Amino acid sequence: MSRAVVTTVGMLFFVCISPAMPESSQEGLKVSNADEMILTALSYIDRSYRFGSESSWAMDCSAFVQRVFRINGINLPRSVREQANYGIPVKRENLRTGDLLFFATYSSYPSHVGIYIGDGKMIHASTTQGIVISRIDDPYWKKRFLFAKRILKDEKEEKDDIKDIILESLRDRF
């Protein structure tokens, strides 16, 4: 048996016996997609803040959120106020990785947004520190918290499942 066939059969065996990735629920992002989103967000850590900018090196909070979600297949509007109109409301005690957090920083309406990354933390574009991780129970953020939203991913935009990709490749070979 050729080495390629053994490797392909081994991969198929591994994929077929490994448990499926857990899903958070049909209400929001799959856990694996939320993890991908957080990895994308973390890749921007320490970049600068610039109000109104959409540059990949310096951006404001809503441009940061828009960019992270867009890279992961979800289109959001540009401004915080527009982003606040998307998704379903989530109670603070029910937050999941990938949920959006909205704050009133310089006004009574949503003027700041961050992405919840779990363990009481968010990643966001801070006006003074750039893209950083902050605790949401920090007195500054706790006092200004307005609400959270869970963004729904359109089923048509789902990425191909790795099992489907491997099975399709095997069908072509045999």
Catalytic residue selected from 30, 67, 112, 150? 112
Fill in the DSSP letter of residue 109: S
Find the catalytic residue in 29, 61, 113, 131. 61
Is 136 an annotated catalytic residue? no
Catalytic (active site) residue 112: yes
Whole-number Å distance between alpha carbons of 20 and 137:
34
Q: Decide: 113 and 84 in contact? Cβ < 8 Å.
A: yes
Torsions phi, psi for 68 (to 5 deg): -60, -45
Of the residues 62, 68, 90, 124, which is catalytic? 124
- Alpha-helical segments (H) within 88-173: 139-144, 162-173
- Tell me which DSSP letter residue 160 carries: P
Q: Is 26 a catalytic residue?
A: no
Helix 3-17 to helix 162-173 angle (10° resolution) is 140
Q: Which residues are catalytic?
A: 61, 112, 124
